[in-house]
Structure 1
């Protein structure tokens, strides 16, 4: 079985983890199971590793703050006829320790050893640093 690898993606338009959760609440899932799908242009070449327990880690305002477990990758044909990758994820948003990331386009691979740890479920809004402080430090390049 392949080792897992994660994907890293900017959560454009979100100011906080709550914004992502609210977006999920206000935009119904296209699947009866409640899974979420994010469509992206490029298909991961390391598909077997991504689907072997990988997650999509969301970068919000320059800081990794949460993740969603990847269920599968679907082919999605856009209205323009171009085939794209639909990253299908579990609906649960899991908060993680904050980890700063510089802006980038598209998505990047994130090796399991480099992924921030999940926060304990009972402390869902806690982190090693409060979210606002992690964002402020990332903004000035200190985290």
Structure 2
């Protein structure tokens, strides 16, 4: 009797698994097909000006903090001076791979202040626009 129950359970499990696989096949076949144009629900309803005006003080603070950190001395984690010191130490120690890696990071980090200063200037313009509209 126990054997019949096990056989019935295995048979039932097989039927359920087969049904699940067969019903999932059309959904999986559809997943690779390109979808139609996005629906109207997902389209933006504006340029996000109100939300940007609301977040503006926090964004300005973050940009200012990043500039302060980048322009800090060698004791400030994340500063250009600290990374320059690490590059020099790696070179002096003869760690060429580490030197190459850190030097690449230094090159990228040296471009950041100019980008952030441009962003800071843009945020001042946005701040003036928000203030003129009374949305700040």
Which TM class, normalised by the smaller chain length?
under 0.3
Higher helix share: 2
**What TM-score results when the alignment is normalised by the length of structure 2?**
0.21
Question: Which structure's residues are more often strand, by fraction?
Answer: 1
- Rg larger in structure: 2
